[in-house]
Amino acid sequence: MVGGGPGAFIGAVHRMAAALDGEYRLLAGSFSSDFDKSRETGDELGLAPGRVYETYSEMAVAEGALPEESRIQVVSIVTPNHLHFPVACVFLEQGIHVICDKPLTTTLEDAEHLCRLAAERDLVFAVTHNYTGYPMVKEARERVEAGSLGQIRKVVVEYSQGWLATLLEAEGQKQAEWRVDPERGGVSSVLGDIGSHAHNLVRYVTGLEVRRLFADLGTVVEGRQLDDDATVLLELDDGVRGLLFVSQISTGERNYLRLRVYGTEGGLDWSQEDPNRLRLVAPNGSEHILYSAAGELSKRAQAHTRLPGGHPEGFIEAFANVYRNVARTLSDDLEGPFDRDFPTVQDGAHGVHFIHKAVESNQRGAWVDAAYTPPSAGAEA
């Protein structure tokens, strides 16, 4: 692991997710730019002192030089956004697979470079858009793909938080400081942090790509360097209309991620704060509620459900589904038809492209063309 030292939130989540199914062992790390803090974390996690490194570059080279049976097989990158690209590069160059937190990078050029490098080296590269790991999100995807909703007409995705409703970064709060810093967070705070998840969720469930968009980005809290609220009108494939709105200044909201998809034959509604429930609506207004592990789910949803019905599964389990599927993909024997069901480096590039197009639209005050195809091995920049 690179990142995830003292004071980090998401590093511990990644470690719990990786450990849940017993498919990983944490062997090495460079957890902080402060070597003393990195060693402290390594001690707490029981790592051999010689496998805790002062820098991520030293770690990549040293691990890459070890015999195949001893070296790390995959690196988990849980650093602030601006480090995703250089860290991923050095490990890919050593032939090490990558699992990286979102957004993939802060620039599209860097994202496309990672796409090409992973393809050229034939390495697995996953991006932890963990909300795709929820069983009921996978059920929603299956319902859309099977045509249960008919022809899709409208998609609405909302991700509202309230944790940045005040100038928290001025108080020295670590998680706020880097997210709203253009040098570390990228061109957009709210889109990079949570908008990328909302965009990915739309793509995963509907299979539709953004063709055009019109974005309004706002910095509501005075003194903040980057935006903290955004509304984006979407034109998806086949002229499907969409709305994406994300906010980190919605006072009192916790982690309200909600997706609604409406077609000619019905609609569906999923909320991350009630993740084991999928609401289906019929044209006559009647509702049918599906619950995870309730006996009427698709094979895809069942394959990502661990507990009997009535036993709630949540955030860690969804994260763990991404990690488990990567582990099984890296094994000699794929165990099931859904083992490659995880967000890839190409999905990450789609997200970076979306962020930059939204920023461009906001600056121009106009609709912009947002169609995009990530590069593959050997493609020109």
The DSSP result for 332-352, as a single string, is SS--STTTT-S-BHHHHHHHH
Higher pLDDT, 8 or 70: 70
Q: What 3-state DSSP class applies to 220?
A: coil
pLDDT digits (tens, 9 = 90+) for 12-66: 999 999 999 999 999 999 999 999 999 999 999 999 999 999 999 999 999 999 9
Do 180 and 297 fall within a single domain? yes
Helices 135-145 and 196-206, axial angle in degrees (round to 10)? 50
- Domain annotation covers residue 332: no
Do 142 and 34 fall within a single domain? no
Beta bridge partners of 259: 157, 270
pLDDT digits (tens, 9 = 90+) for 228-272: 999 999 999 999 999 999 999 999 999 999 999 999 999 999 999
Confidence of residue 380 (pLDDT cuts 50, 70, 90): very low
**Number of domains comprising the chain:** 2
Do 246 and 298 fall within a single domain? yes
In this predicted structure, the answer to whether residue 210 has a pLDDT above a threshold of 80 is yes
Segment 169-197 shows an average pLDDT of 96
CA dist 15 and 99 (Å) reads: 12
End of a domain among 130, 156, 191? Answer: 130
pLDDT digits (tens, 9 = 90+) for 287-334: 999 999 877 899 999 999 999 988 989 999 999 999 999 999 998 776
pLDDT at 111: 98
pLDDT digits (tens, 9 = 90+) for 326-357: 999 998 776 688 999 999 999 999 999 999 99
The CATH number of the domain holding residue 72 is: 3.40.50.720
What residue numbers bound the domain in which 37 lies?
2-130
pLDDT at 378: 46
Q: What is the pTM of this model?
A: 0.96
Cβ-contact 276, 291 below 8 angstroms: yes
In this predicted structure, the answer to whether residue 377 has a pLDDT above a threshold of 90 is no
Q: Burial-class residue 312 by CB neighbours within 10 Å (0-12, 13-18, 19+).
A: middle
Among residues 312, 297, 350, 337, the alpha carbon closest in space to that of 129 is found at: 350
pLDDT at 334: 67
- Domain annotation covers residue 79: yes
Do 165 and 90 fall within a single domain? no
pLDDT at 376: 77
